[in-house]
């Protein structure tokens, strides 16, 4: 019994220790978008329930969140939800249509619409996320830490203006560049809502919080400083008591600033080498990444070699092994497992 408890707390400690920059025997490993997508048991639930049924039902969300812990052996769980629950909480309908991705039928077209948005009681509006976190936490029973998350204000803004996914988000950029003051007011409303939301997630059981700036890389470095960075910083600084990971895809140029934004760790995509990322973020920053997600489609021996090389390059300390972006739905489970197992065997 005692031994069980010790083992539990030791295992649990790895990801948190690496985040705090403490010495570890090997890096912890998890994969962005690990809950769902490529797991056969998830696809069974997907055939039975709509996307938001899965998200809004705490028992289903818990089951999906815990799947990769049981089946792939990752060192952290990330709650099954979506970044687009924030537009929903702000009063914007979001539908997820199979094969089409997200759709927002009503989009932001004017400054008046922005000024009419009321900041919601987000813990109440999104209570099912907090319920799912609490149930997941209980179900995990200390096996691994639990990650909560939200989208960055800029990335959420992109969807609220564009109304759907896009390669260029040109409607969103046109709005931002022609109405920068109104854009700043909306980004502030999203940031304030997100701060309350992330704090509620931590109170409900999230040990770590990650902010996804998936579309930051669509901005030039100068525009990133106007439309994304200040809001990421505002959020990171408003949450001093829970570790925050900032993941800004395509924003290597911003790593020196992101390293000073008040975050605990920075996510790195695969367009940056580990050496470049270390040089840009500075020696004290904890980094997370950056395996090319499509490299999980390589033959398994190749995956193992490349995963090992990745740790060689980042080093075992102040490092969390992960992909450079979300796992692709077509990745075979044994390939994902080979990646995770290689990190777990590193150095032994």
Which stretches of the chain bind ligand CP3, using CB under 6 A?
Answer: 33-37, 46, 51, 78, 80-84, 96, 101-102, 149, 151, 165, 212, 214, 326
51 or 253, CB closer to ligand CP3? 51
Rounded to the nearest whole angstrom, what is the least distance from the CB of residue 300 to ligand CP3 in the complex? 22
Residue in the shown chain whose Cβ atom is closest to ligand CP3: 214
Rounded to the nearest whole angstrom, what is the least distance from the CB of residue 164 to ligand CP3 in the complex? 9
Rounded to the nearest whole angstrom, what is the least distance from the CB of residue 7 to ligand CP3 in the complex? 26
Rounded to the nearest whole angstrom, what is the least distance from the CB of residue 43 to ligand CP3 in the complex? 8
51 or 128, CB closer to ligand CP3? 51
**Which residues share a beta bridge with 129?**
none
69 or 303, CB closer to ligand CP3? 69
302 or 330, CB closer to ligand CP3? 330
What is the Rg, in whole angstroms, of the alpha carbon atoms belonging to the chain? 19
Copy the structure tokens of residue 341: 């197992």
24 or 75, CB closer to ligand CP3? 75
Are residues 329 and 37 in contact, defined by beta-carbon separation less than 8 angstroms? yes
Half-sphere exposure of 274 (CA within 13 A, CB side): 25
Rounded to the nearest whole angstrom, what is the least distance from the CB of residue 12 to ligand CP3 in the complex? 19
Report the C-alpha gap between 225 and 179 in whole angstroms.
16
Are residues 225 and 216 in contact, defined by beta-carbon separation less than 8 angstroms? no
24 or 150, CB closer to ligand CP3? 150
Range list of β-strands (E), the chain: 77-78, 95-97, 101-103, 146-151, 208-213, 244-248, 265-268, 286-291, 319-323
Residues contacting 328, CB < 8 A, separation 6+: 37, 38, 293, 294, 296, 297
What is the number of residues in the chain? 348
Are residues 281 and 255 in contact, defined by beta-carbon separation less than 8 angstroms? yes
SS3 177: helix
Rounded to the nearest whole angstrom, what is the least distance from the CB of residue 271 to ligand CP3 in the complex? 14
Quote the DSSP letter at residue 298: S
Rounded to the nearest whole angstrom, what is the least distance from the CB of residue 262 to ligand CP3 in the complex? 21
Of the candidates 70, 84, 73, which has an alpha carbon nearest to the alpha carbon of residue 31?
73
278 or 325, CB closer to ligand CP3? 325
Report the C-alpha gap between 304 and 87 in whole angstroms.
40
77 or 195, CB closer to ligand CP3? 77
Rounded to the nearest whole angstrom, what is the least distance from the CB of residue 35 to ligand CP3 in the complex? 4
């Amino acid at each position: 019994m005692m031994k069980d408890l010790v083992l539990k707390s030791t295992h649990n400690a790895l990801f948190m220790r690496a985040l705090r920059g403490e010495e570890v025997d090997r890096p912890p490993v998890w994969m962005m978008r690990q809950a769902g997508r490529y797991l056969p048991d998830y696809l069974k639930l997907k055939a039975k329930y709509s996307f938001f049924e899965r998200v809004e039902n705490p028992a289903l969300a818990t089951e999906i969140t815990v799947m990769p812990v049981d089946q792939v052996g990752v060192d952290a769980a990330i709650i099954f939800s979506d970044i687009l629950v924030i537009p929903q909480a702000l009063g914007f309908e979001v539908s997820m249509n199979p094969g089409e991705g997200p759709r927002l039928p009503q989009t932001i077209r004017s400054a008046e619409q922005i000024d009419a948005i009321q900041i919601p009681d987000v813990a109440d509006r999104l209570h099912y996320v907090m319920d799912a976190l609490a149930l997941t936490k209980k179900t995990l029973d200390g096996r691994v830490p639990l990650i909560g998350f939200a989208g960055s204000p800029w990335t959420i803004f992109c969807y609220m203006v564009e109304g759907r996914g896009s390669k260029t988000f040109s409607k969103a950029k046109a709005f931002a560049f022609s109405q920068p003051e109104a854009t700043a007011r909306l980004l502030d409303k999203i940031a304030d809502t997100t701060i309350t939301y992330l704090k509620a997630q931590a109170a409900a059981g999230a040990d770590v919080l990650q902010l996804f700036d998936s579309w930051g890389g669509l901005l030039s470095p100068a525009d990133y400083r106007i439309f994304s960075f200040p809001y990421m910083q505002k959020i990171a600084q408003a949450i001093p008591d829970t570790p925050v990971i900032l993941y800004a895809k395509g924003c290597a140029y911003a790593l020196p600033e992101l390293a000073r934004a008040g975050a605990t760790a920075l996510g790195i995509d695969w367009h940056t080498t580990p050496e470049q990322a270390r040089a840009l973020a500075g020696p004290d920053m904890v980094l997370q990444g950056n395996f090319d997600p499509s490299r999980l489609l390589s033959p398994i021996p190749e995956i193992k070699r490349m995963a090992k090389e990745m740790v060689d390059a980042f080093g075992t300390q102040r490092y969390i092994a992960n992909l450079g972006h979300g796992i692709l739905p077509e990745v075979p489970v044994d390939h994902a497992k080979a990646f995770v197992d290689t990190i777990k065997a590193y150095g032994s």
